[in-house]
Amino acid sequence: MSSSIKRVPIRERFWYKELVFMLKRIRESPLSLIGTSIILFFILLAVLAPYIAPPRPGRDPFEIPRFGYVPTPSPPSPEHPFGLTEGQYDLFYGCVWGTITAFRVGFLGVSGSLLIGILVGALAGYFGGLLDDILMRIVDIVFAIPGLILAMAFVIALGQSLDNVIIALMLVGWPTYARLVRAGVLQVKVEDYVEAARAMGCSHSRILFKHILPNSIFSVFIVATLDMGSMVLTASALSFLGIGAPLGYADWGQLIALSRNWLLGVPGDPFAYWYTYTYPGIFIFMFVLGWNLLGDAFRDILDPTLRRR
C-alpha cells in the first residue's frame, strides 16, 4: 500500500524541523487529538487494570473470573458493572484486562513485523540484484494470501494459543514494511549525501543505518500506527472464530464469541443480552479507531503534496 503515501527524501539536518512541524500540525488537527486521547485513555486503563479489576490472588490475571456455570448471561449489576456473559464470565474484568492483551498483541505483532520487514526491505533495496528479486518475490507470495486467512493457516499449524496468534501476525505483517522500506531505500540510495558517505569509505551498515534508514522512517511510522489497530482486529477475529485466545482468556474477540448465541435476546425483548456483545465490541472499535485516527492524521501531515496549502 505504499502507493498511497508520497515520499520525499528529508535532508538529515532538518529531521528535527520536520518533527517539530509534525507535532505542531498534530496539535491543530481535531481528529488526531481525538485519536491521541482515546489511546491515552486505553493506556491509562491498561496501567490501572490491577486496581480497577483486581485479579484473584494466586491466579493468572488473564483468566477471567467466573461467577457460576449457568450458560445464560446475567445483566449488569453493581458487583458486575458490565454483566456476566455466557458461562458467567465477568465482562468488566474481561474488557479491562483485554486492554492489556490488545496492547500486547498489537505492540509485539507490529514490532516483530517491523523488524523482519525493515531487515528484508533494507537488504533488498540496498543490495539489489538477485537478492532483491528473490526477497521481493517472497514478499509477493506472502501478500497473495489475505492476512486473516494466512493467519488462520499459521495458527492451526502452530497450535491454538494467543502467543501463536502473535507469531502468526508477525509472519503475515512483515511484507508491508519490507516493501515500504525497500522503496524508501531505493529512493534515497541515489541521493548525493549517500554517494558522499560511500566516497568517505563508510561501511554498508553504517550508511544504511545512519543515512538511509532515518529518511524512510516516516512512512513506516504511519503504517505501524495503523497496524496497531488492524493487528488487534485480526487477532480478535481469530478469537471470534475460535482459533485465537482460549476460552475464558481476557480477550475482546473471545468475549464477543461468547455472545453469539445471545444475539436475538428472548421473545419480546430482542436486546435482552445487549451487554454481552456491546461492551467488548465498543472496546475493540474504540481501540482500533484511536490508532486509525492517529495514523490517518500522521499520513495527512506527512504528505508533502497536501502540506503547503
Residue 157 contacts other proteins per CB under 8 A = yes
Gyration radius (Cα) of the chain, Å: 23
Q: List the end-to-end C-alpha distance of the chain, in Å, as a whole number.
A: 25
- Taking CB under 8 A as the binding criterion, the range among 1-9, 43-51, 187-195, 196-204 that sits at the site for other proteins is 1-9
C-alpha distances in angstroms, 177 versus 21, 45, 183, 204, 220?
25, 30, 10, 21, 7
Residue 210 contacts other proteins per CB under 8 A = no
Q: Kindly write out the interface string for residues 106-145 of this chain, putting x where it contacts other proteins by CB under 8 A and - elsewhere.
A: -------------------------------xx-xxxxxx
- Nearest distance from C-beta of residue 70 to other proteins, angstroms: 22
- Taking CB under 8 A as the binding criterion, the range among 90-98, 121-129, 198-206, 284-292 that sits at the site for other proteins is 284-292
Give the residue with the Cβ less far from other proteins, 22 or 138.
Answer: 138
Residue 285 contacts other proteins per CB under 8 A = yes
Among residues 89, 92, 83, the alpha carbon closest in space to that of 54 is found at: 92
User: What sign results for the dihedral spanned by CA atoms 53, 59, 63, 68?
Assistant: negative
Q: Kindly write out the interface string for residues 223-262 of this chain, putting x where it contacts other proteins by CB under 8 A and - elsewhere.
A: ------x---x--xx--xxxx---------x--x--xx--
**How far apart are the C-alpha atoms of 127 and 132, rounded to whole Å?**
7
- Nearest distance from C-beta of residue 296 to other proteins, angstroms: 6
- Nearest distance from C-beta of residue 110 to other proteins, angstroms: 16
- Nearest distance from C-beta of residue 278 to other proteins, angstroms: 8
- Nearest distance from C-beta of residue 235 to other proteins, angstroms: 10
Residues contributing to the site for other proteins (CB under 8 A): 1, 3-4, 31, 137-138, 140-150, 152-158, 229, 233, 236-237, 240-243, 253, 256, 259-260, 263-265, 270-271, 274, 277, 281, 284-285, 288-289, 292-293, 296, 303, 305-309
